[in-house]
Structure 1
């Protein structure tokens, strides 16, 4: 039971500390007298209440009408709008339109892009195969190389014949 008495004593000390803190907070000394007003014991410090501000409410009481904010008229923005409209007008017009940029891409453009590396590799192989075929033909035919080249150029249509 000694523990219970000890706890009561601690609670009593805690209450005394709280009372002293309240007195310090209220600016009173240990006698209960106010430090600012030494003769007045019953007077408590007044708390300042927030003053209401009325933005959209019109109070009926005369004392509250002082807290009404004056009505504010919106600023005239027509000059700003006119300056923005004038700044946005463009006087130059494009004479020519690039049709490549306007035309939609073909549906297979991405496939061609992805396959272009493989096609380049196949083109090189095709050229090598053609060269090998020509060499074999020259070996088996036994004809003169100059005659073969001249004959192949004579078979091709020239660009000058289109006149």
Structure 2
């Protein structure tokens, strides 16, 4: 029996060593820098270079083609509604009023439901009373 136990212990230890070795190899692979990835990023950065001529007007056609066009300032101008300043000033009050309105509506719906159930109970009671009276008459 002792040899079987020893064999089982040795097999478990060997399996554990194998798992640890595989884990170390995986960590080493993760820690090694990837040279190909760095080169592609550098190449992309070199290809994305666009020239900005702030103080220099290029006379060469190739340089003029590489020039970045400035954004059109008139594209961002959008006419505002005539009451935009009033709405901005009153927005906090409108939000508060909206909350109060929703609260009042839920209270009214609760009251209406309560009145509806009371009315239904009253109808049931009166019908029951009428049925009892009809039975007594028969």
TM-score computed with the length of structure 2 as normaliser: 0.34
Q: Indicate the structure whose relative CO is greater, using CA pairs within 8 Å and at least 6 residues apart.
A: 2
Higher helix share: 2
Q: Which has the larger radius of gyration?
A: 1
TM-score computed with the length of structure 1 as normaliser: 0.29
